[in-house]
Amino acid sequence: MLKSRHGLIAVGLASALINLLYLTSSLFMLQVYDRVIPSQSIATLVALGLLVAGLYLFQAAFEIIRSRMLTRIGGIFDETIATSVFGAAVKAPIASGRAHDGLTLMRDFDRVRAFLSSTGLPAFFDLPWLPFYIAISFLFHPLIGIVAMTGSFILLLFAYLTHASAQKSSPVIAGVTIERDKLLGAAHRNSDVVEAMGMRADLASAWSRINDRHRSLLRNRSDTANAYATASKIFRIALQSFVLAVGAVLVIENKASGGIIIAASILLSRALAPAEQAIANWQGFVLCRQSLARLRQTLADDADHVAPMALPLPKAALVVENLSSAPPGQSGSVITNVSFSLKSGDALAVIGPSASGKSSLARALTGIWPIARGSFRLDGATLDRWSEAERKNIIGYLPQDIELFDGTIAQNVARFRADADAGAIVEAAKIADVHELILRLPDGYESEIGPGGSMLSAGQRQRIALARAVFGNPFLVVLDEPNSNLDADGEIALTKTILSIRNSGAIAIIIAHRPSALTGVDQVLLMVEGRVAAFGAKSDVLPKILRKNQQGELRSSPLAVVGEAGE
């Protein structure tokens, strides 16, 4: 931001020169009427004309320089904070629990950048020169100065009313915009469901109702802003004519020269032009200021996090003690007092009825959800003791809802690391037993998978996401229902992957609904209503769960066919 500040100072200096040069036309008219016409000197007129032409060229040069500097200030702003804004936007759904916050941040970023490069910003640099022009008007004649000052106050009143209107309407419009974008985003993400079940018309109708309100609010704001802008424009034109009349009276009464009539009119027009332009662009200025305030707050919050001292990567144990957690921004706990421990080479299957807290535990262990109480430690250190750059070598995660990124298979497996080694990518694919599958694709690892992996089947997406989770040999690999879309060969490959993770000395945690996922594990944790109901070796825990199911002590089976897993 320091570079932008220096650039804005340079724009301010250029604006000062431009505003001084704006006096050229007024002074030229004054000299023509008061000196050239009475003397009837063509030589004087030519000399004045050449001088004025030179001044106009300087003014044009400074105008071009100022516009180019503003464009580059927008570029500097982009270059300086774009990466930080992107990071904050990606983190926003986790930090606040609202996915639209990230979109709002990017919209704020684009709005500030666009305003910095817009034609509306120079008006706010010219506006402080209004007292200077009023002072020159007083030098022409006190009556002209009084007219200019009165007109300025009236235009400033218009500016205040415009500001108050924009301040009142902007939060309401922003809320409706977010609501509209959320529905459109949900429809876009679920386009297959929408098309298959004929929901397009109904969703379009729901979206249209929100859009109608959005359009109405925008129309009202635009009508108000345009009304103030038009009133200020007409007032300035009328005031300019009034100054002509005042100048004529002064000339008739021999209180001023004839040049005053035209010169004062031109001067007043220039004096009030920045105020009029500022009113016309005030709505954009208010929105830009609000956006900049939100960006500053968000980036300041991120900057408050002090980078922790570098620690060795974990390699021995995982300990969870009385852990309670809930989604960001939600009071209460979804999982409560969860405790267990694992050592290097262990694989834990987390089982339980639906809505028992299994996926919630996965989100807490990967740092997606905040820990309200208790602790989760790797080799004695909490996860936040490692920086984000270090955590990518610690955590591997396969979410329940698979989402790949538009790009190649190699990029997705490598988590889009620019410096990823080809050997490491192939190694991860082999660990996930998906290497042969990738090679059978038309372009192998360079195959484009389309938005969200749309060019792949659900099973292929899940297996490539599994390779992404084990890329870089992380110490903790959390797999949430990793076999939900797998066929028999895919489940065999999953078991091989779990055994490979264990053999490498890492820890695997598998959220399981199907018993085939338990084949490669040695530990089992049963979750019921957000709490640990049982934990221990698979050979000890599964028989107990099976007996409780048979006796009806559990309200619903933690696994559809848990008996098969225990056989």
CATH code (residue 268): 1.20.1560.10
Residue with tokens 């505003």: 19
Q: Percent of the chain having pLDDT more than 90?
A: 20
Q: Are residues 420 and 326 in the same domain?
A: yes
pLDDT tens track for 11-23: 888 888 888 888 8
Query: Can you tell me the mean pLDDT for 102-130?
Result: 81
Continuous H helices in 337-456: 358-365, 388-391, 409-413, 422-431, 435-439
Q: Are residues 135 and 194 in the same domain?
A: yes
Q: Are residues 96 and 23 in the same domain?
A: yes
Whether 170 shows a pLDDT value over 80: the answer reads: no
pLDDT tens track for 365-386: 988 888 889 999 999 998 888 8
Q: Is residue 502 part of a domain?
A: yes
Instruction: For residue 321, give the H/E element and its range.
Output: strand 317-325
d(CA 467, CA 474): 12
Cβ proximity of 512 and 541 under 8 Å:
no
Q: Is residue 177 part of a domain?
A: yes
Q: Phi and psi (nearest 5°) for 387?
A: -70, 170
Q: For 169-179, b where at least 16 C-beta lie within 10 A, e where not — what string? A: bbeebbebbbb
User: Three-state SS for 306?
Assistant: coil
Cβ proximity of 228 and 129 under 8 Å:
no
Q: Is residue 308 part of a domain?
A: no
What are the residues facing 398 on neighbouring strands?
Answer: 479
Q: For 297-332, b where at least 16 C-beta lie within 10 A, e where not — what string? A: ebbeeeeeeeeeeeeeebeebbbbeebbbbeeeeee
Q: Give the pLDDT of residue 469.
A: 92
Whether 551 shows a pLDDT value over 70: the answer reads: no
Pairing mode of beta strands 507-511, 381-382: unpaired
Q: Are residues 293 and 332 in the same domain?
A: no
Q: Are residues 207 and 156 in the same domain?
A: yes
Domain count of the chain?
2
Q: Are residues 118 and 75 in the same domain?
A: yes
Task: Write the DSSP symbol of residue 440.
Answer: T
Whether 254 shows a pLDDT value over 60: the answer reads: yes
Q: Checking phi first, is residue 327 left (phi over 0); if not, alpha (psi -120 to 50) or beta?
A: beta
Query: Can you tell me the mean pLDDT for 485-505?
Result: 87
Whether the full predicted model's pTM is greater than 0.75, yes or no, is no
Task: Write the DSSP symbol of residue 413.
Answer: H
Query: Can you tell me the mean pLDDT for 44-48?
Result: 88
* CATH code, 479: 3.40.50.300
Q: Give the pLDDT of residue 567.
A: 38
Whether 148 shows a pLDDT value over 60: the answer reads: yes
Instruction: For residue 130, give the H/E element and its range.
Output: helix 130-140
CA angle 511, 516, 518 (to 5 degrees): 55
**Confidence tier at 477 by pLDDT (50, 70, 90):** very high
C-alpha to C-alpha distances, 411 to 234, 400, 428, 459, nearest whole angstrom: 59, 21, 12, 18
Domain boundary among 267, 297, 327: 297
**Confidence tier at 114 by pLDDT (50, 70, 90):** confident
Q: Give the pLDDT of residue 323.
A: 93
178: its two tokens: 């977010």
Q: Are residues 256 and 377 in the same domain?
A: no
pLDDT tens track for 328-357: 877 778 999 999 999 999 999 999 888 888
Q: Is residue 559 part of a domain?
A: no
Q: Are residues 280 and 343 in the same domain?
A: no
Q: Are residues 254 and 397 in the same domain?
A: no
Whether 183 shows a pLDDT value over 50: the answer reads: yes
Q: Is residue 564 part of a domain?
A: no
Domain that holds residue 99: 1-297
Cβ proximity of 480 and 452 under 8 Å:
no
E strand segments, 503-544: 507-511, 523-528, 531-537
Query: Can you tell me the mean pLDDT for 312-318?
Result: 91
Q: Are residues 98 and 20 in the same domain?
A: yes
3-state helix, strand, coil in the chain (%, to 5): 65, 10, 25
Domain boundary among 264, 297, 330: 297
Pairing mode of beta strands 371-378, 531-537: unpaired
Rg (CA), the chain: 35
CA-closest candidate to residue 323, choices 340, 336, 342? 336
Q: Which amino acid is at 457?
A: S
Q: Are residues 288 and 322 in the same domain?
A: no
**Confidence tier at 4 by pLDDT (50, 70, 90):** low
List all residues 6 or more positions away from 232 whose beta carbon is below 8 Å from its beta carbon. Answer: 155, 158, 159, 275, 276, 279, 280
C-alpha to C-alpha distances, 426 to 134, 268, 439, nearest whole angstrom: 74, 73, 10
Whether 319 shows a pLDDT value over 90: the answer reads: yes
Q: Is residue 248 part of a domain?
A: yes
522: its two tokens: 């040695």
Q: Is residue 42 part of a domain?
A: yes
376: its two tokens: 């989760």
Least confident of 57-61, 260-264, 456-460, 509-513: 260-264
Whether 217 shows a pLDDT value over 80: the answer reads: yes
Count H helices, E strands: the chain? Answer: 21, 10
Q: Are residues 384 and 264 in the same domain?
A: no
Q: Is residue 304 part of a domain?
A: no
Half-sphere exposure (Cβ direction) of 369: Cα atoms closer than 13 Å: 25
Cβ proximity of 483 and 494 under 8 Å:
yes
Sign of the CA dihedral 184, 187, 191, 197? negative
How deeply is 43 buried, as exposed, middle or buried, from its count of CB atoms within 10 A (0-12, 13-18, 19+)?
Answer: exposed
Mean pLDDT of the chain: 82
Cβ proximity of 523 and 532 under 8 Å:
no
Q: Give the pLDDT of residue 225.
A: 80
Continuous H helices in 32-99: 37-39, 42-96
Whether 234 shows a pLDDT value over 90: the answer reads: no
Q: Give the pLDDT of residue 101.
A: 63
Query: Can you tell me the mean pLDDT for 406-417?
Result: 89
Query: Can you tell me the mean pLDDT for 397-416?
Result: 88
d(CA 360, CA 356): 9
Cβ proximity of 128 and 274 under 8 Å:
no
80: its two tokens: 């300086």
Cβ proximity of 464 and 410 under 8 Å:
no
